[in-house]
């Protein structure tokens, strides 16, 4: 069960609700979001009833939720959540495409990338300063220097930035550089210490699905972030691992309507990592938007053949611009904009 408190609820009113929960042998988790405070009752919630809490001072509403993920569940928040990223809405009627290179390489490369992203009509930019790689000998990213390069390139054109956090020890550095959206990659989806720490910030978080993670495991990973007080979570499907080897990963397009049913939070798709080849990206991107995704995470490089990382799956600037045109048409059919 969750108890949603009024915006102006006092500490005494919160304490009274917690005491009531504990009277019935359950534990309480307090999640202080930017808009509201939510108290989750942990344990056998069959012992509790909304009638116990709704009359209490400071309580807005209480809901019995049997599912293990409570805060991210649609039951207590039937309206779709729209996340504001420096004035760019993600999760509403307008579809957002987050584009840019796989990795930050040079200042010139990032300056050019920012210009092409802006020209294509994208409102957010991606780029990896820290890169998780299968081989320890592959390029690992430029680290803090990469953050600095990325920040300067994107700021010049007013583009909010999205970049991956791999190590909890780098979180303060990400906050120092005012990273607009923190990405948690597929390999860290169940790095629970990392999830808890980003849950204590108010930064929007893109949570990528693990290579072999179930929908339930993915939702529970998001609950770790939400339980810390950060409800600005964006799910990103990037393909799952199966027996198929023709393409990099299998894009689980079914995950989009399933997540839309289970959670109020935005859902985006990464067609670049799903297909692993640039020629597949437009078809997968169109399918994602048609299925109801709120946005895309797309790799684009000024010169893909010279990219230091994942060259095969990066679009060139012309292909990104053409894709944006296609997506506008798909979005209009669905009563949305791109």
Token pair listed for 262: 């289970």
Residue ranges and CATH numbers for the domains of the chain are 2-66 (3.30.70.1140), 83-333 (3.20.20.70)
Per residue in 32-83, pLDDT (tens digit) is 887 789 998 888 777 888 889 999 999 999 887 777 788 899 887 889 999 9
How many whole angstroms separate alpha carbon 227 and alpha carbon 250?
30
Q: Count the neighbouring beta carbons within 10 Å of the beta carbon of residue 105.
A: 23
Per residue in 152-209, pLDDT (tens digit) is 999 999 999 999 999 999 999 999 999 999 999 999 999 999 999 999 999 999 999 9
The number of C-alpha atoms within 13 Å of 188 and in the hemisphere containing its C-beta is 22
Mean pLDDT of 315-320: 97
Which segments of 24-102 does DSSP mark as H helices, in order? 50-53
DSSP, collapsed to helix, strand or coil, labels residue 74 as helix
Per residue in 274-304, pLDDT (tens digit) is 999 999 999 999 999 999 999 999 999 999 9
- Among residues 264, 271, 308, 305, the alpha carbon closest in space to that of 288 is found at 271
How many whole angstroms separate alpha carbon 268 and alpha carbon 234?
7
Q: Are strands 27-32 and 205-208 parallel, antiparallel or unpaired?
A: unpaired
Task: Give percent of the chain above pLDDT 70.
Answer: 99
pLDDT given at position 162: 97
Q: Are strands 96-100 and 295-299 parallel, antiparallel or unpaired?
A: parallel
Per residue in 9-31, pLDDT (tens digit) is 999 999 999 999 999 999 898 98
């Amino acid at each position: 069960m969750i108890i949603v408190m009024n915006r102006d609820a006092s500490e005494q009113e919160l304490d009274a609700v917690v005491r009531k929960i504990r009277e019935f042998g359950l534990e309480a988790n307090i999640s202080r979001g930017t808009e509201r405070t939510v108290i989750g009752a942990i344990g056998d919630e069959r012992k509790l009833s909304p009638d116990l809490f709704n009359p209490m001072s400071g309580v807005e509403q209480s809901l019995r939720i049997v599912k293990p993920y409570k805060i991210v569940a649609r039951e207590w928040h039937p309206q779709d959540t729209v996340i504001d990223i420096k004035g760019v809405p993600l999760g509403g009627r307008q579809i957002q495409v987050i584009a840019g290179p796989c990795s930050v390489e040079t200042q010139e490369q990032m300056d050019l990338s920012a210009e092409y992203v802006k020209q294509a009509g994208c409102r957010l930019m991606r780029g990896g300063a820290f890169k998780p790689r299968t081989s320890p000998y592959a390029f690992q990213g430029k680290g803090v220097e990469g953050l600095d390069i990325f920040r300067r390139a994107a700021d010049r054109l007013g583009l909010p930035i999205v970049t991956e956090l791999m190590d909890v020890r780098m979180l303060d550095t990400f906050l120092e550089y005012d990273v607009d959206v923190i990405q948690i990659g597929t390999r860290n989806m169940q790095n629970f210490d990392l999830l808890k720490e980003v849950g204590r910030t108010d930064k929007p978080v893109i949570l990528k699905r693990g290579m072999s993670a179930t929908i339930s495991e993915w939702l529970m990973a998001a609950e770790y972030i939400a339980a810390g007080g950060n409800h600005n979570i964006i799910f990103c499907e990037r393909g799952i691992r199966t027996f198929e080897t023709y393409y990099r990963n299998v894009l689980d397009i079914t995950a989009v309507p399933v997540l839309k049913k289970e959670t109020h939070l935005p859902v985006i798709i990464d067609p670049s990592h799903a297909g692993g080849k640039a020629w597949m990206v437009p078809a997968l991107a169109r399918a994602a938007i048609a299925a109801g995704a709120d946005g895309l995470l797309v790799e684009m490089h000024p010169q893909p053949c010279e990219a230091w990382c994942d060259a095969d799956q990066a679009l060139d600037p012309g292909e990104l611009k053409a894709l944006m045109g296609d997506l506008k048409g798909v979005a209009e059919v669905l009563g949305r904009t791109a």
